[in-house]
Structure 1
Amino acid sequence: MDLYLKARKLAQERAQQIIDGIKPDEYFVENDECKETIYLLSDPEQRTILLKKFDQNEKQKAVASLRSYIRWKRRRRIIRNSSKIAAILVLVIGIAITFYSPSPTNLQTREPDGYLTPGKPQATLILANGQEIKLDRELELKEKNTAILNKKSGEVVYTPDSGNVEIQQYNTIKVPRYGEYSVVLSDGSRIKLNSESELRYPVVFTGEQREVYLKGEAYMEISKDQKPFIVHAYDTRIKVYGTSFDVNSYNPDEIRIVLVQGKVGIHHSKMQEVILYPNQLARVSEKEGIVVKENINVNYYIAWQEGYFAFEEERLEDIMTTLSRWYRMKVIFENPQLKDIRFTASVQKEENISKLLNQFELTRTVSFNIIENQIFIK
């Protein structure tokens, strides 16, 4: 068996070991064939030859092969392990480099404390009277016969009493860059807001329908009720029928809705309502209307609210834009053509971003130079 096949076989086996919870050192010590393959890959000439053979198209085939090879019991485990499994893009060359080289990659970095740090739960609550409250501690408030409890975990909860409320008053929660926050509305619906997002909502829902107004991105789990739930995202209106879904409105010119469970109806301008079903994605724009994509892997779109960033065949520019909302960093493309390179990978939101950049660098298609909070891509 040549080195190419050995390396590919090793990557598949190691992926299964990851799922089974076996640590790398245990696997490498007990597997003689693994140790032999890694030893061969420790030779720079062998790695160069293999990289030339394993071109970009072949890398993508390997990704597909690996996905077919592993029979996942739970979809979420795909996301939680994909940051390690994504190394298949360059086989297990990264493993060899890690074990035999002083530094894992050529990533140049001068990264003092305080730079490139991940975000944290943080938000500001704006009450109906305009008062702004920073949600940085546990606190209890009372507004319109409703108890408002802010938790240390990064969630504010509305609990109405049994009294009737005739006048509807609104609160707004704003999440800054490098933050995220959750709110449990008075009807029990739970909404998690991503960085640079805000939600305007009633303290208590009155009238014939429940309506909220979103800017940015939110993952919503809407409680079932006789009153329909309406999400306004600029010119797009989403009618919810008791469901779980993600709305991304960072770009007002193209709203993205991904449905996890249930059913939603999408309205835009004078267009006819479009019904979205589980595992479907809708893109809404003035130019193209409502375009629906079926049979998507929703986990890549909702991973952010589970503590991960996951990317499937996404442009590098879009990946870095997403990451820059969470990590304290600035991105500079020295070679604009690199913006369109596509990658499949994921990273825990609490991890150092260098781990993800290392994966990209192993493809030999891009390199990163980190100076303080700036990432130069060339």
Structure 2
Amino acid sequence: MINQHFYIARLIARYLSDEIGEEEQAELTRWRNESPENERLFREICKEENIKQNMQKRQTFHTEDGWEGVQRKIQRHRFRHRILNICKYAAIFIFPVVVATVAIYKSSNEPQPLSQVAEQIVPGGKKAVLILDNGEAIDLKSTSGVELKEKDGTVIQVDSTALNYQQAPARTSEKLAYNKVNVPRGGEYQLTLSDGSKVQLNSMSSIRFPVQFAQDCRLVELEGEAYFEVSKTGQPFIVQTKGMKIEVLGTTFNISAYANEEYQTTLVSGSVKVQTENGSNRILKPSEQACITPGSNQINVRNVDTAFYTSWIHGKINFKDQRLDDIMKTLARWYDMDVVYENEATKELRFGCYVNRYNEITPLVKLLEQTGRVTVTVEGKTIKIFTNH
């Protein structure tokens, strides 16, 4: 981490001295976009009054004395043993590098004040409603340790956090029995289908499926977002959503198919075929993502870091250089809150973040405000975001 601090500090110094190259500028821009705190820190270092003070100190700055000062600061934080290897580079560091490094290190270790505390906005949790084939609705949040039996003989183990459908020896009816799981805003839920495939549902999502699959095909219907780990049985597994169909044999992937948002299929492992309503299709390889704009039959495929699109199943919220509106739509579903913007331009601001999904909203509000780009107010379960002009 210290080495990274020094490298970023060097880039900032070269930026301030108008010596930065195109590749270095791109790296600095990526670092600024990684988190609101990085952007806030960059702006603080680049303030005109700070630059004037630094330049005045630079005139009397002695490299060896300055480096000894940095060593003393680091030793107080018990990090000296991690950075001794970079001493040989100290002689070529100009003063702004040292100033920026200390600022970055200090920023990463000092708590920042929060102007607004959003105590009413809490993270989501395990909750869903199961709709049986006969229309009966069961609140899964308040149900645990119960076994149900569908009319075709399938046993369903009901838990407050997951459903488990047991494979029946043989169906007693030719007609398939269907169940549906609805996850509301501020919820998530897991289920194991009768073929052993596992599904994790995100907020404002639902899945409809046969309690026992047909002999020739395994078909489920999805609205919203889900992460699938499909068992290999020799029969195709098909996920039908509004706007696309995904066919697999055995693989791991994430689907996001919320209304009025871009449909995305992100492949983690294995292989899938993505098909539009008019029959156009593409076969994905691991780390590829297929995107379809609502109302369009065109499939765009791009290479992605799958960790960003599957972080939610690991309890994280992870964005990098994303539109504020896209970030807040995801958060609004999970925290069951509303978001209001000062104007359309505010929605287009780009941010990054990496926070615990199960924490309250306060840390994220803090990160947004620390950038200096926006002001955030909280009224009940509504967040209002204003651009700092």
TM interval, short-chain normalised: 0.7 to 0.9
Q: Find the residue that maps to 2:374 and give its secondary structure.
A: coil
Partner of 1:70: none
Q: Quick one: which of 115, 121, 125 aligns to 1:120? A: 125
Q: TM-score, normalization: structure 2?
A: 0.72
SS for the counterpart of 2:329 is helix
Matched, 1:12 2:4: yes
The higher radius of gyration belongs to: 2
Pick from 308, 311, 322 the counterpart of residue 319 of structure 2: 311
CA contact (8 A) 2:128 2:182 kept: yes
Taking the TM superposition and a 5 Å limit, the aligned residue runs for 1:1-378 are 10=2, 12=4, 61-62=27-28, 64=30, 87-89=37-39, 90=41, 96=106, 104-105=112-113, 107-109=114-116, 111-112=118-119, 115-136=120-141, 137-138=143-144, 139-143=146-150, 144-152=152-160, 154-165=161-172, 166-251=174-259, 254-285=262-293, 286-287=295-296, 289-294=298-303, 296-378=304-386
For residue 128 of structure 2, what is the amino acid of its counterpart?
Answer: A
Question: Is contact 1:108-1:370 (8 Å) kept?
Answer: no
Q: How far 1:230 sits from its partner (Å)?
A: 0.7
- 2:112 counterpart letter in structure 1: P
Q: Which residue of 2 aligns with 1:46?
A: none
What SS is found at the alignment partner of 1:267?
A: strand
Q: How many Å separate the matches in 1 of 2:4 and 2:108? A: 18
Distance 1:374 1:238 in 2: 36
Separation in 2, partners of 1:182, 1:209: 22
**Count of residues paired in the alignment:** 312
Q: CA deviation at 1:172?
A: 0.3
- Does the aligned pair in 2 maintain the 1:271–1:289 contact within 8 Å? no
Aligned partner of residue 323 in structure 1, secondary structure: helix
Unaligned runs of 5+ in 2: 43-101
Q: What is the alpha-carbon root mean square deviation over aligned residues? A: 3.1
C-alpha separation between the residues in 1 aligned to 2:302 and 2:196? 30
What is the CA distance between 1:371 and its match in structure 2? 2.5
Report the Cα distance in structure 2 between the residues aligned to 1:267 and 1:224, rounded to whole angstroms. Answer: 21
Question: Offset of 1:86 from its aligned partner?
Answer: 6.8
* Worse-matched range after superposition: 161-170 or 142-151: 161-170
Shift of 1:96: 4.3
When the two structures are superposed, what TM-score results if normalisation uses the length of structure 1?
0.74
Q: CA deviation at 1:145?
A: 1.6
How big is the shift at 1:237?
Answer: 1.1
AA matched with 1:61? E
CA displacement, residues 108-136 of structure 1 (integer Å, 9 cap, x when unaligned): 32544xx1111111000000000001102
Displacement of 1:94 in angstroms is 7.9
Moved more, 185-194 or 234-243: 234-243
> What's the secondary structure of 1:322's corresponding residue?
helix
Separation in 2 of the partners of 1:168 and 1:145?
11
CA distance in 2, matches of 1:156, 1:130: 17
- Looking at structure 2, the residues matched to 108 and 186 of structure 1 have their Cα atoms a distance apart, in angstroms, of 50
Distance 2:328 2:26 in 1: 20
Corresponding residue SS for 1:218: strand
Question: 1: distance between equivalents of 2:255 and 2:108?
Answer: 39
Q: Alpha-carbon deviation of 1:253?
A: 6.3
SS in structure 2 of the partner of residue 211 of structure 1:
strand
How far off its partner does 1:356 sit? Answer: 1.8
Q: Which runs of 5+ in 1 are unaligned?
A: 1-8, 16-36, 38-48, 68-81
CA offset at residue 53 of structure 1? Answer: 5.8
Offset of 1:62 from its aligned partner? 3.6
Instruction: Report the Cα distance in structure 1 between the residues aligned to 2:384 and 2:6, rounded to whole angstroms.
Output: 32
Select between 211-220 and 158-167 the one with higher mean Cα deviation: 158-167
Are 1:140 and 1:148, in contact at CA under 8 Å, matched by a contact in 2?
yes
Q: Deviations over 1:68-121 (max 9, x none)?
A: xxxxxxxxxxxxxx8xx7743436858746977xx824x432544xx1111111
SS of the residue aligned with 1:324? helix
Q: Is the 2:36–2:351 Cα contact (8 Å) retained in structure 1?
A: no
CA contact (8 A) 2:5 2:105 kept: no
Q: Which amino acid aligns with 1:164?
A: R
How far 1:12 sits from its partner (Å)?
A: 2.5
